Amino acid sequence: MAQLNWGMIGGGEGSQIGPAHRLGALADGHFRLVAGALDHRPEQGRAYAQRLGVVASRAYGDWTEMLAGERGRDDRPDLVTVATPNSTHFEITKAFLEAGFNVLCEKPMTLTVEEGEEIVRVAEKTGKICAVNYCYSAYPMVRQARAMVQAGDLGRIRLVVTSFSHGHHGDATDADNPRVRWRYDPAMAGVSGQFADCGIHALHMASFICNDEVTTLSADFASTIPSRQLEDDAMVNFRMGKGTVGRLWTSSVAIGRQHGFDIQVFGETGGFRWASEQPNQLIYTPLGGRTQIMEKGEAGLCEDARRLSRVAIAHPEGFPLAVANIYCDLADAIRGEPRPGLPRAAAGLRSMAAVHAAVASARAAGQWVDARPPMFR
Ligand code: NAI
């Protein structure tokens, strides 16, 4: 099968998520990097793209140059990844979709609900794929958890409890560090800090595993470091369409917690737990039965969990390979085999609606509010 052409915007040298995209996109040979505008500093971006093997004429200084240079080519990218800071996602994603490119956008997909709805509409109108990098949902054992819920192994889901709480912004004396400060600056981050940064991964995961959507929520936000304009800790209670009760805690000041993303799902006939720090294991307890550790790579897992595992049982498989699984699903989708697990623009929009609902709720002393985007009510 022919390799797909890939372009990248952002994710330059020294960026946090850039290497995971490059390792992920290239891991299985589905994609090759042919064009890039990798850095907000044009010269650094051009030089780095060339060091990564992009020819000089396709190593661009900024994304508008890349759009102009690539849109008319026969060998233009089959997919463009947007891995820039949040405030630029909408403009870049919309422009590339409108020019007929498939796009993988980093989360949060947009800053506002209106922008999210616009992206969903443009993707529908152009027929192009707009995916959002909810990469944790692509771990094999998360796909297994979703398949078990879909198969009814846990019965009706009563309760979901999830957290994405780390302590890496817990040092008040480091609050002015430029890599930390923008996340709590409304001009750069939008209306929400920690919830929009990490909480939406947990909220998406709850929807993804339960195969259900968040309908209402009540939020309590706190800036535990008082100089921060946006929250660094949030507790969000939510409800889903099929009646599931949800509890979500997200924090960046939980010193001692490293990555801190886990989820527990409790149904009528069983429960399970998955944690990103032990991604190859799903801890499953059937009602009245023994607790079992299900391992990535073992016999009897669902088709998705088998398809998205590369190395044999007991060998570790990490974060870039979860991103690689997003690229596998994208490659299949671009080649005409849609994969239901691939998070699309609708998921990005639902997150934005939840972020804005949480902000409104937190400002109204935790009042319950509708968390659905107007388009999906
Ligand atoms: P970063 O600040 O480490 O890197 C941003 C990169 O984008 C830099 O190379 C910068 O030069 C480049 N850039 C900035 N503006 C640009 C522009 N207009 N055109 C081209 N390049 C530009 O940021 P980080 O942490 O890598 O985050 C980037 C995005 O990825 C954010 O939206 C963030 O929320 C998301 N992210 C997602 C994760 C996930 O698990 N899915 C994990 C970490 C980040």
Half-sphere exposure of 189 (CA within 13 A, CB side): 23
Give the C-alpha separation, 177 to 170, whole Å. 12
10 domain-assigned: yes
Domain termination site, one of 100, 135, 170: 135
Question: What's the 38 CA to ligand 1 centre distance in angstroms?
Answer: 10
> Average pLDDT of 199-221?
98
Q: How far is CA 359 from the centre of its chain?
A: 20
Q: Which atom of ligand 1 is nearest to the CA of 179?
A: 2
Do residues 146 and 108 share a domain? no
For residue 123, the domain's CATH number is 3.40.50.720
pLDDT of residue 66: 98
Question: What's the 85 CA to ligand 1 centre distance in angstroms?
Answer: 4
Do residues 36 and 78 share a domain? yes
Question: What's the 243 CA to ligand 1 centre distance in angstroms?
Answer: 36
318 domain-assigned: no
Q: How far is CA 191 from the centre of its chain?
A: 18
User: What is the four-CA torsion angle of 337, 338, 341, 345, rounded to 10 degrees?
Assistant: 150
Q: 200-210 and 140-150 are packed helices; what angle lies between their axes, rounded to 10 degrees? A: 40
Residue type (1 letter), 107: K
For residue 166, the domain's CATH number is 3.30.360.10
Residues 6+ apart with CB under 8 A from 220: 234, 235, 236, 362, 366
* Ligand 1 pocket residues where CB is under 6 Å: 9-12, 15-18, 37-40, 62-63, 83-86, 88, 106-107, 133, 135
Report residue 314's pLDDT band, with 50, 70 and 90 as the boundaries: confident
Q: Which domain holds residue 67?
A: 4-135
Which two structure tokens, joined as six digits, stand for 122? Answer: 């443009």
Do residues 156 and 296 share a domain? yes
Which amino acid residue places its CA nearest to atom 4 of ligand 1? 15
Give the C-alpha separation, 159 to 156, whole Å. 9
Give the C-alpha separation, 334 to 79, whole Å. 8
Give the C-alpha separation, 24 to 325, whole Å. 7
Which two structure tokens, joined as six digits, stand for 248? Answer: 């979500």
Do residues 251 and 159 share a domain? yes
The residue whose CB lies within 8 Å of the most ligand 1 atoms, and thus the one to mutate among 106, 166, 188, is 106
Which two structure tokens, joined as six digits, stand for 323? Answer: 């991103």
Residues 6+ apart with CB under 8 A from 84: 9, 10, 11, 40, 63, 92, 106
Do residues 160 and 206 share a domain? yes
328 domain-assigned: no
pLDDT of residue 232: 97
326 domain-assigned: no
333 domain-assigned: no
3 state DSSP class of 288: coil
The residue whose CB lies within 8 Å of the most ligand 1 atoms, and thus the one to mutate among 13, 16, 201, is 16
Question: What's the 41 CA to ligand 1 centre distance in angstroms?
Answer: 13
Do residues 357 and 262 share a domain? yes
The residue whose CB lies within 8 Å of the most ligand 1 atoms, and thus the one to mutate among 40, 169, 323, is 40
322 domain-assigned: no
Which two structure tokens, joined as six digits, stand for 203? Answer: 């909220």
Give the C-alpha separation, 286 to 267, whole Å. 9
Domain termination site, one of 87, 118, 135: 135
User: How confident is the model over 42-99, as pLDDT tens digits?
Assistant: 999 999 999 999 999 999 999 999 999 999 999 999 999 999 999 999 999 999 999 9
Do residues 113 and 150 share a domain? no
Question: What's the 9 CA to ligand 1 centre distance in angstroms?
Answer: 9
Q: Quick count: other Cβ atoms within 10 Å of Cβ 229?
A: 11
Domain termination site, one of 119, 135, 151: 135
Q: Which atom of ligand 1 is nearest to the CA of 197?
A: 34
48 domain-assigned: yes
Given 3-state DSSP classes, what are the helix, strand and coil percentages for the chain, each rounded to the nearest 5? 40, 25, 40
Give the C-alpha separation, 194 to 221, whole Å. 9
Q: Which atom of ligand 1 is nearest to the CA of 136?
A: 40
Do residues 173 and 303 share a domain? yes
Do the Cβ atoms of 263 and 141 come closer than 8 Å?
A: no
Residues 6+ apart with CB under 8 A from 203: 162, 214, 236, 238, 248, 351, 354
158 domain-assigned: yes
User: How confident is the model over 141-192, as pLDDT tens digits?
Assistant: 999 999 999 999 999 999 999 999 999 999 999 888 887 888 999 988 899 9
Do residues 56 and 150 share a domain? no
Do residues 98 and 207 share a domain? no
- Name which residue leads in pLDDT, 314 or 255: 255
Domain count, the chain: 2
pLDDT of residue 17: 96
ipTM: 0.99
Q: 173: burial class by Cβ within 10 Å (0-12, 13-18, 19+)?
A: exposed
Percent of the chain with pLDDT over 70: 100
Give the C-alpha separation, 319 to 24, whole Å. 9
pLDDT of residue 175: 80
Do residues 47 and 86 share a domain? yes
Do residues 101 and 183 share a domain? no
Q: Which atom of ligand 1 is nearest to the CA of 319?
A: 40
pLDDT of residue 315: 86
